C-alpha cells in the first residue's frame, strides 16, 4: 500500500525576525485537507490572500525563492517548504503576518521544531509521488547541473563549489524524516562577504546577522556565532534548499537528485521541468481514475518479477498506475516488429484478438499476484466470458489495458479487463484465474 498523505495534527506558531526587512513576524502552520498541498497566506493584508507553493508562482530566485500572485508576495519560502517536505507533511497552510518567514538561525531546525510541536497525522488518501523512470538532466549557463536518475527512494547528492572553487564540499543522503531532522535541517545558510556587502551598503538584509548566517570572508576566514555544525555544512544546506525548491513542482519525487553547484535558479528550473515531465507522462494515460502515487508504478523489469512470461509472450511493457489494491492500468506499445504480424494478415496487419485477451489476463494477474500472500504463485488463466472485440488494433497503436479484481476466494480469482486505444475501448472480457504455487 502506498504511504498516506499527512498533515499537521494541530496549529503551531513560530515568532522571529524576517531576513530582508528585519521586521518581527509570526508564522503559523495549520492542518489542511487532502490534496491541498502547501499554501501560504498573508494575514497582514486585506482579504488575507493565498499563494500556492508552486513553481508557476515563482517570481525571483536571486539568493532566495520568492513567490508572487499579482502584487502579493512571500519571500524566502524554501526553508519552511523544505522542513514540511523533509518531515513528511504533504498538506499545510502557512500563515504569516509579514511578507517573509522568520529566518531563525538560518537553518530549517526552528521549522522542524514547530512541526513537531504541531504533531503529524495521517490522512485517508494515498501520497502523490512522481517516480522518475528516465534520467532528467538540466545544465545552466553558469555551470550548475541538476540531474535526477531513477531510484525507489528520494535521495539527494550535492557538490557545492564556491567562487574559484572555494569550499568545495560533497554530501549525500536519503531523505527520510529521521535523517532530515538530524542531518539536513540544522545546516545553516552561508554567504560570501563580497557578494552581500553591496546589499548591506544599500541597507538591505536588515535582519541578517552572524546569528542566522555563516559569513565567508575574502581570505576564506569564517565568521559565525557558533562553530560549524558539520564539516560539509554548506553542501547540507544546499540539499535543504533543493528539497524545498523541488517541492514547488507540486509533488514529491522518488528519484536520486545529483546536483553540482546548485542554487535557487537551477533548483526551480528543475521543478518546472518536473511539472512538464509529469504532464507528458499523464498525457499518455487515458482519462481514468488513477491516483498519482508513483510508488505503485512498475517498469518492465518489475513486471517480469511478477509475471513468468517472457518475449514474445510478454504483453505488458509497464504498469502506469494503481487504484488501491483492486485496479491498475498497463501499457503495451504495438509495433510492426511484433512477431505475429509476419503471419497475421501481413498485408493488413492487425493485432490478434486472442493476444489482446492475453494482455488483459497478464494485467489482471499482476493485480492478483502483488499481495504478499500471493507472491511467488502463478495465475493460470481458466476462462474468459463476455469477450468483445470492438475495433482493430494496428501497428503504432498504444494499448492501455485496464484491469479490476472483482473477487478472490481461496485460490480462484475473478477480474474484469478492457483494452483502450485513443480513449476508445477496443476489447473487453470477464476473466477467471486459478492462483497456484509455482
The answer to whether the beta carbons of residues 12 and 113 sit under 8 Å apart is no
In the predicted model, is pLDDT for residue 212 greater than 80? no
The pLDDT value recorded for residue 293 is: 42
The pLDDT value recorded for residue 72 is: 93
Q: Range with the lowest mean pLDDT among 120-134, 211-225, 235-249?
A: 211-225
Quick one: which H or E segment has residue 356?
helix 353-369
Grid coordinates given for 69: 500572485
Q: Residue 224: which of 234, 232, 236, 216 has the closest Cα?
A: 216
DSSP characters over 144-192: -EEEEE--SSEEEEEEE--GGGTT-EEEEEE--HHHIIIIITTPPPEEE
- Give the position of cell 529521521: 178
The answer to whether the beta carbons of residues 406 and 428 sit under 8 Å apart is no
Give the pLDDT band of residue 153 (cuts 50, 70, 90). Answer: very high
Angle between helices 78-86 and 233-246 (to 10 degrees): 90
The pLDDT value recorded for residue 209 is: 58
Q: Which residue has the higher pLDDT, 374 or 196?
A: 374
| Alpha carbons 116 and 37: distance in angstroms, whole number | 19
Give the pLDDT band of residue 368 (cuts 50, 70, 90). Answer: confident
The pLDDT value recorded for residue 206 is: 54
Hey, is 221 helix, strand or coil?
coil
Q: Which residue has the higher pLDDT, 98 or 344?
A: 98
Show Cβ contacts of residue 70 under 8 Å, excluding neighbours closer than 6 positions.
Answer: none
Hey, is 431 helix, strand or coil?
strand
The pLDDT value recorded for residue 115 is: 98
The pLDDT value recorded for residue 265 is: 94
Give the pLDDT band of residue 62 (cuts 50, 70, 90). Answer: confident
CATH superfamily of 294-437: Hotdog Thioesterase (3.10.129.10)
The answer to whether the beta carbons of residues 172 and 153 sit under 8 Å apart is no
Q: What is the rounded average pLDDT of the residues 176-187? A: 97
The pLDDT value recorded for residue 392 is: 92
In the predicted model, is pLDDT for residue 334 greater than 80? yes
Burial class (CB in 10 A: 0-12, 13-18, 19+), 81: buried
* Catalytically annotated residues: 264, 344
Show Cβ contacts of residue 340 under 8 Å, excluding neighbours closer than 6 positions.
Answer: 312, 351, 352, 355
Q: Residue 253: which of 297, 316, 318, 190 has the closest Cα?
A: 297
Q: What is the rounded average pLDDT of the residues 383-394? A: 92
Domain ranges of the chain: 4-281, 294-437
User: Percent of the chain, pLDDT > 70?
Assistant: 91
In the predicted model, is pLDDT for residue 159 greater than 70? yes
In the predicted model, is pLDDT for residue 316 greater than 50? yes
The pLDDT value recorded for residue 168 is: 92
In the predicted model, is pLDDT for residue 147 greater than 50? yes
The pLDDT value recorded for residue 281 is: 67
| Alpha carbons 367 and 87: distance in angstroms, whole number | 32
In the predicted model, is pLDDT for residue 1 greater than 60? no
Show Cβ contacts of residue 204 under 8 Å, excluding neighbours closer than 6 positions.
Answer: 20
Q: What is the rounded average pLDDT of the residues 324-342? A: 88
Instruction: Tell me the CATH class for 4-281.
Output: alpha beta
Q: Tell me whether strands 252-260 and 154-160 are parallel, antiparallel or unpaired.
A: parallel
| Alpha carbons 62 and 77: distance in angstroms, whole number | 12
In the predicted model, is pLDDT for residue 39 greater than 70? yes
Q: Residue 392: which of 340, 353, 354, 344 has the closest Cα?
A: 353
Give the pLDDT band of residue 360 (cuts 50, 70, 90). Answer: very high
Q: Tell me whether strands 136-139 and 66-69 are parallel, antiparallel or unpaired.
A: unpaired
The answer to whether the beta carbons of residues 356 and 389 sit under 8 Å apart is yes
In the predicted model, is pLDDT for residue 401 greater than 80? yes
Q: What is the rounded average pLDDT of the residues 149-165? A: 91
In the predicted model, is pLDDT for residue 252 greater than 90? yes
What does pLDDT average to over the chain?
87
Q: What is the rounded average pLDDT of the residues 286-290? A: 41
Q: Which residue has the higher pLDDT, 419 or 382?
A: 419
The pLDDT value recorded for residue 286 is: 46
Give the pLDDT band of residue 287 (cuts 50, 70, 90). Answer: very low
The pLDDT value recorded for residue 413 is: 86
User: Percent of the chain, pLDDT > 90?
Assistant: 57
Give the pLDDT band of residue 200 (cuts 50, 70, 90). Answer: low
| Alpha carbons 206 and 117: distance in angstroms, whole number | 29
Q: What is the rounded average pLDDT of the residues 275-290? A: 62
The answer to whether the beta carbons of residues 374 and 432 sit under 8 Å apart is no
The string of pLDDT tens digits covering residues 220-243 is 777 777 888 999 999 999 999 999
DSSP characters over 381-403: EEEEEEEEE-S---TT-EEEEEE
Q: Which residue has the higher pLDDT, 308 or 42?
A: 42
- Give the position of cell 483502450: 420
Grid coordinates given for 52: 500556492
Q: What is the rounded average pLDDT of the residues 93-103? A: 94
Amino acid at each position: 500500500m502506498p504511504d498516506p498523505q499527512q498533515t499537521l495534527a494541530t496549529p503551531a506558531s513560530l515568532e522571529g525576525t524576517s531576513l530582508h526587512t528585519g521586521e518581527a513576524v509570526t508564522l503559523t502552520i495549520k492542518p489542511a485537507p487532502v490534496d491541498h498541498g502547501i499554501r501560504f497566506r498573508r494575514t497582514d493584508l486585506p482579504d488575507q490572500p493565498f499563494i500556492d507553493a508552486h513553481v508557476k508562482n515563482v517570481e525571483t530566485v536571486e539568493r532566495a525563492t520568492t513567490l508572487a500572485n499579482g502584487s502579493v508576495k512571500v519571500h524566502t519560502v524554501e526553508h519552511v517548504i523544505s522542513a514540511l517536505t523533509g518531515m513528511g507533511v504533504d498538506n499545510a497552510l502557512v500563515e504569516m503576518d509579514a511578507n517573509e518567514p522568520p529566518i531563525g538561525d538560518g537553518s530549517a531546525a526552528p521549522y522542524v521544531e514547530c512541526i513537531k510541536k504541531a504533531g503529524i497525522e495521517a490522512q485517508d488518501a494515498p501520497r502523490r509521488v512522481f517516480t522518475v523512470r528516465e534520467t532528467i538532466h538540466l545544465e545552466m549557463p553558469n555551470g550548475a547541473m541538476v540531474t535526477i536518475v531513477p531510484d525507489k527512494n528520494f535521495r539527494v547528492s550535492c557538490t557545492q563549489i564556491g567562487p574559484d572553487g572555494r569550499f568545495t564540499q560533497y554530501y549525500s543522503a536519503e531523505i527520510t524524516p529521521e535523517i532530515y531532522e538530524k542531518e539536513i535541517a540544522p545546516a545553516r545558510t552561508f554567504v560570501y562577504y563580497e557578494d552581500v556587502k553591496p546589499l548591506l551598503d544599500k541597507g538591505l538584509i536588515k535582519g541578517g546577522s552572524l546569528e542566522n548566517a555563516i559569513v565567508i570572508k575574502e581570505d576564506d576566514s569564517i565568521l559565525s556565532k557558533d562553530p560549524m555544525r558539520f564539516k560539509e555544512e554548506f553542501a547540507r544546506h544546499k540539499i535543504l534548499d533543493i528539497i524545498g525548491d523541488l517541492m514547488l513542482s507540486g509533488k514529491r519525487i522518488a528519484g536520486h537528485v545529483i546536483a553540482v553547484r546548485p542554487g535557487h535558479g537551477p533548483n526551480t528550473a528543475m521543478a518546472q521541468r518536473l511539472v512538464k515531465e509529469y504532464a507528458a507522462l499523464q498525457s499518455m494515460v487515458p482519462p481514468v481514475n488513477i491516483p498519482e502515487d508513483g510508488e505503485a508504478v512498475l517498469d518492465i523489469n518489475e513486471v517480469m518479477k511478477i509475471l513468468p512470461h517472457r518475449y514474445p509472450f510478454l504483453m505488458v511493457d509497464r504498469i502506469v498506475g494503481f487504484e488501491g489494491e483492486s485496479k491498475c492500468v498497463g501499457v503495451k506499445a504495438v509495433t510492426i516488429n511484433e512477431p505475429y504480424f509476419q503471419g497475421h494478415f501481413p498485408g493488413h496487419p492487425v493485432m490478434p484478438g486472442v493476444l489482446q485477451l492475453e494482455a488483459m489476463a497478464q494485467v489482471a494477474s499482476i493485480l492478483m499476484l502483488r499481495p504478499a500472500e500471493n507472491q511467488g504463485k502463478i495465475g493460470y488463466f481458466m476462462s474468459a466470458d463476455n469477450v468483445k472485440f470492438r475495433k482493430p488494433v494496428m501497428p503504432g497503436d498504444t494499448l492501455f489495458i485496464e484491469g479490476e479484481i472483482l473477487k478472490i476466494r481461496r485460490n480462484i480469482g475473478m477480474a474484469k479487463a478492457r483494452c483502450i486505444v485513443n480513449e476508445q475501448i477496443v476489447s473487453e472480457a470477464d476473466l477467471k484465474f486459478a492462483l497456484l504455487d509455482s
